[in-house]
Amino acid sequence: MTSLTYLRSFRVRSVDGPALLAGLIIAVPVIATLIAGLVFGGGDVWVHIRDTLLTGYTLGTLGTLALTAIMTLAIAVPAAWLVTMYRFPGRGLFEWLLILPLAAPGYVLAYAYADLMGLMGPFQMAIREATGLSARDYWFPDMRSLPGLAFVLTCALYPYVYLTARSAFVSQSVCALEAARSLGASSARRFWQVALPAARPAIAAGLALTLMEAAADYGAAEFLGVPTLTFGIVRAWQSFGDPSAASRLALILVVIVIALILTERHTRGRAGSQQSSTRWRTVSRTKLPIGAGLVASAFCGIVFLVAFFMPVSRLIWLSLESHDQIAPIGQALINTLILAGSGAALAFVLALTIALSARQSGLVAGFARIMASSGYAIPGAVLALGALLVMGQLGITLTGAWAIVALAWVYASRFTTSGAEPMVAALGRAPASMGYAAESLGASPLRRAVSVDLPVALSGAMAGALILFVESLKELPATLMLRPFNWDTLSVRANAYASDERLAAAALPSLLITLAGLLPVILLSWRLSHSRPGDTQ
């Protein structure tokens, strides 16, 4: 019996071995950065940054996160409540239109709004033409400021909170809402005292994801001139050429990210709701009166108009109006496809490995999933720095193919969990009896994974692969830090044009990035709109 038990445990370890390797591949860049920041982060460059720039970087990051959180909650939660609980003109359309801003990275919206709100933009020109005033005679919001950065990031990232809040409202206890209504509670009171407390853990999870993405932003912060830690990390590497000093900044940023994660976990652990034993029922939507319905439609319409339609329309206008100023981007498009394809392919393999391991619970499977989730939480600039440090210690020069390998590694480290979760969900929907049947027929864990779990996991692979490709395509700071010399991608080219104030030239690559992001977002929206039994408009 002892020998048989040993053989069985060996089989399990042989199946979990690839998952352990996948977890380590994801974790190494983060670990390397943390070690470098703690041990080797000193020096003259770090002293200069600490004494003159660190306070600005830290306050810029914290201020951006605070304003983004306030704006996001003010927009996303009411929008999710309205489309979930009420019927009003255009509700079915707004339900999926409000997700579309996820397709546009923050730096793309920053380029568009800098042109829209700039001195020579349509709004200020209209003011001057209508009033005869000069630019010095009136006040106008300045996009190149911390509030401007928070506004842009809110437009790009609020759908994370909108989606999680909407999911929580859909699955909330109908009985609790009906009990509150029977006691005479108004709609506003039911929202504040019943629905919102029950949805708080989901909203906190969405907000934590939003703020982690905001903390990872480089392109919008750099273009709008707001000093943040991510901006400082890239500058410490590119301008000062000191990865050790950059690793110290990365260490501070990682601490902020960990604080966000712990806060979200604390909120989720202390809040929640108990569903009644009554069989699940669809939340019945209340038809709003004409006036209130028009207000709800106007609110959702303004959110979509400001967050997506206006900036994307401006980029289209710039592309059409200044087509003769647009530089060729064919090579940048090819480079983008190569890098994003390489990163997505590696991430797909790691995601599939982790998903198959997750089917068989154990410490290794849990470790791999935690590492994948942690990698997603860490900004791309930090992961790029870690890969740079590791390859430097190995004596590898980041040129040619090695730079592409490093970028694929960073993309995979950051985005693997985006591909793994759809596969894990697909496996979770499969009946457990399939695995039990395979085991009863004497199939080893490895054979079960290949013959039973793999075909099931691949049913969720298309969505996972698409998400991985688009996320890799949009990544900017890691690409700036590690790409081969003279190897521009669409994101790098757009950033370079925008930095030179050539917004017309930046419009086309920005539009292509947004267009690529639309497909998975529309797919996600369609799946969500068809995931609610008995749903009616």
Same-domain status, 82 and 151? yes
Same-domain status, 261 and 394? no
Per-residue b/e over 61-70, b at no fewer than 16 CB within 10 Å? bebbbebbbe
Could you tell me which residue, 246 or 192, shows the higher pLDDT?
246
Mean pLDDT of 140-149: 92
394 vs 388: CA distance, rounded Å: 10
Mean pLDDT of 272-283: 49
Computed over its alpha carbons, how large is the radius of gyration of the chain?
Answer: 25
Same-domain status, 367 and 469? yes
Same-domain status, 501 and 365? yes
- Is 5 within the bounds of a domain? no
Same-domain status, 372 and 385? yes
pTM reported for the whole predicted model: 0.83
Mean pLDDT of 293-297: 94
- Is 1 within the bounds of a domain? no
Same-domain status, 473 and 373? yes
CB 325 within 8 A of CB 502: yes
Average pLDDT value over all residues in the chain? 80
- What letter represents residue 108's amino acid? V
Supply the DSSP symbol for 395: T
Place of tokens 């010095």: 136
- Is 497 within the bounds of a domain? yes
Is pLDDT of 377 > 80? Answer: no
Same-domain status, 391 and 334? yes
Same-domain status, 354 and 297? no
Is pLDDT of 199 > 60? Answer: yes
Q: What is the tally of structural domains in the chain?
A: 2
Alpha helices in 360-431 (DSSP H): 363-377, 380-393, 401-429
Alpha helices in 239-362 (DSSP H): 243-270, 290-304, 310-321, 330-359
The last residue of a domain, from among 261, 282, 316: 316
What's residue 257's pLDDT? 85
- Is 334 within the bounds of a domain? yes
The C-alpha torsion from 260 through 265 and 271 to 277, rounded to 10°, is: 140
Is pLDDT of 460 > 60? Answer: no
- Is 301 within the bounds of a domain? yes
Domain interval for residue 501: 20-49+325-530
- Is 192 within the bounds of a domain? no
Mean pLDDT of 288-317: 94
What does DSSP say about strands 286-287 and 86-87: parallel, antiparallel, or unpaired? Answer: parallel
Is pLDDT of 179 > 50? Answer: yes
Is pLDDT of 296 > 60? Answer: yes
Same-domain status, 485 and 443? yes
Same-domain status, 502 and 457? yes
Listed residue (244, 255, 315) closest to 58, CA to CA:
255
Q: Which residues, listed in sequence order, are joined to residue 215 by a DSSP beta bridge?
A: none
Maximum mean pLDDT: which of 226-235, 261-270, 376-385, 463-472? 226-235
- Is 9 within the bounds of a domain? no
What's residue 488's pLDDT? 87
* pLDDT tens readout for residues 387-414: 988 888 888 887 778 888 999 999 988 8
What's residue 449's pLDDT? 57
Same-domain status, 213 and 82? yes
Same-domain status, 402 and 518? yes
Q: Which CATH number characterizes residue 373's domain?
A: 1.10.3720.10
Could you tell me which residue, 68 or 379, shows the higher pLDDT?
68
- Is 240 within the bounds of a domain? yes
- What letter represents residue 460's amino acid? G
49 vs 57: CA distance, rounded Å: 9
128 vs 123: CA distance, rounded Å: 9
Q: Which residues, listed in sequence order, are joined to residue 354 by a DSSP beta bridge?
A: none
